[in-house]
Amino acid sequence: MQYPYIEQFRHALVTWFEREQRDLPWRHTKDPYKIWVSEVMLQQTRVDTVIPYYTRFLEIFPTMEQLAQADEDVLLKQWEGLGYYSRARNLQAGVREVVEQYDGVVPNTREEISKLKGVGPYTAGAVLSIAYGVPEHAVDGNVMRVLSRVLNIHEDIAVPKTKKTFEAAVDMLIDHENASSFNQGLMELGALICTPTSPKCLLCPVRDYCIAFEEGEPEKLPVKTKKVKTKPLYYDVFVLRDEAGRYKLEQRASSGLLANMWQFVMVERGEGVFTPQIVEQTEAAQIVTQDHLMSFKHVFSHLVWHMDVYIADVKGEHPAWYDAEQIEKLPMPVPMLKIWHALPR
């Protein structure tokens, strides 16, 4: 690949980043653990969403040793609402590896750090460059968008293999004296200037070194095929409440969607099928009243839940069920939180 502006691009990007970067909580530290936490939280998640989670998380788990010792329910409760909950479990597993096998020091080579659970090619490069200054590539969606335009690359970024092209591009361009600012600069540029739609080219510090801008249609890049369609699922949800004000909760399976999180009794049904009475067959509890509470849908990345929610008062007491105080401490996915907060008090 012939690109005539390597030195100019590198210098313009780094100086722009060091002048214009946003003041974000994880930019006040070089602690590899804290950088690691921020990078995991930022996976597929917006900066504004992450900030309060990041701050709270490090108040509760200020060191790797404390995170390593946390109970899973406590950990997931801190992650509640952030999504992709396996990230939390994998982060804790990775941290435990560092505490036990690396004497509490995050490894500083791609070879070693990549062995840690939940640390893929991007997170490895991000932690290495930002915390340790190691000149390793950290290619995320921003980087592919920015460099597809700067270098006028038309490969389909929806094809996994395409990432190698961009990793090679970063290897060519990266500032070996300031890998941290270079990598963060690429991402910051993608977030603030070189946006997916309506890029602000007139404000861009590397406009003069951008081939796509030169050719006139940077907004046409990157090329990205592939669309996902979501599959609908239909559920009846039963909020069972006993005479002591306890609710029946169930913990989800330990793998798959929303693993190990807690929910009210949920029964899948066919589309258009009306079966709220099924709870009387599946629950030994004797239903006194059963009222329709609400209906709503919740959209996931690859499926949609259509929920019909019923609240049922049952006879007697069920000591194994959970009172409000206990429920507040259990990690629940957002659709269940919606129901919980909508319950008549």
Active site members = 39
Closest separation between CB of residue 331 and DNA, Å? 9
Interface segment toward DNA; rule CB under 7 A; list 201-209, 235-243, 266-274, 299-307: 299-307
* Phi-psi group of 258: left, alpha or beta (phi > 0 → left; psi -120 to 50 → alpha; rest → beta): left
Residues 31-60: x where in contact with DNA by CB under 7 A, - otherwise, as a string: -------xx--xxxxxxxx-----------
What does R_g of the chain's alpha carbons equal in angstroms? 24
Residue holding tokens 């290897």? Answer: 171
Select the residue interacting with DNA from 120, 154, 203, 317 (CB under 7 A): 120
The nearer residue to DNA, 222 or 276, going by C-beta atoms, is 222
SS3 of residue 45 by DSSP: coil
SS (H, E, C) 225-289: CCCCCCEEEEEEEEEEECCCCCECEEECCCCCCCCCCEEEEEEEECCCCCCCCHHHHHCCCCEEE
Q: Which residues of 46-68 are buried (b: 16+ CB within 10 A; e: fewer)?
A: eeeebeebbeebbeebeebeebb
The nearer residue to DNA, 218 or 333, going by C-beta atoms, is 333
Residues 159-198: x where in contact with DNA by CB under 7 A, - otherwise, as a string: xxx----------------------x--xx-xx---xxxx
What's the DSSP call for residue 194? S
The nearer residue to DNA, 1 or 228, going by C-beta atoms, is 228
Considering the rule CB under 7 A, would residue 118 count as an interface residue with DNA? yes
Closest separation between CB of residue 295 and DNA, Å? 13
CB burial of residue 39 (10 Å; 0-12, 13-18, 19+):
buried
Considering the rule CB under 7 A, would residue 309 count as an interface residue with DNA? no
Closest separation between CB of residue 244 and DNA, Å? 29
User: If binding means CB under 7 A, how many residues of this protein chain bind DNA?
Assistant: 59
Q: Name residues contacting DNA, limited to 238-277 (CB under 7 A).
A: 256-259
Query: How far is the CA of 83 from the CAs of 46, 55, 76, 86, 174, in angstroms?
Result: 12, 17, 10, 9, 32
Amino acid identity for residue 99 in this structure? V
Closest separation between CB of residue 196 and DNA, Å? 4
Residues 61-100: x where in contact with DNA by CB under 7 A, - otherwise, as a string: --------------------xxxxxx---x----------
Select the residue interacting with DNA from 224, 269, 283, 313 (CB under 7 A): 224
Tokens of 14: 């780094």
Closest separation between CB of residue 325 and DNA, Å? 22
CA 312/CA 289 separation, integer angstroms: 6
Considering the rule CB under 7 A, would residue 335 count as an interface residue with DNA? yes
CA 88/CA 65 separation, integer angstroms: 15
CA atoms within 13 A on the CB side of 264: 27
SS3 of residue 314 by DSSP: strand
Considering the rule CB under 7 A, would residue 6 count as an interface residue with DNA? no
Closest separation between CB of residue 144 and DNA, Å? 8
Q: Name residues contacting DNA, limited to 124-163 (CB under 7 A).
A: 124, 126, 140-142, 145, 159-161
Interface contacts to DNA, rule CB under 7 A: 24, 38-39, 42-49, 81-86, 90, 117-124, 126, 140-142, 145, 159-161, 184, 187-188, 190-191, 195-198, 224, 227-228, 256-259, 298-303, 333-335
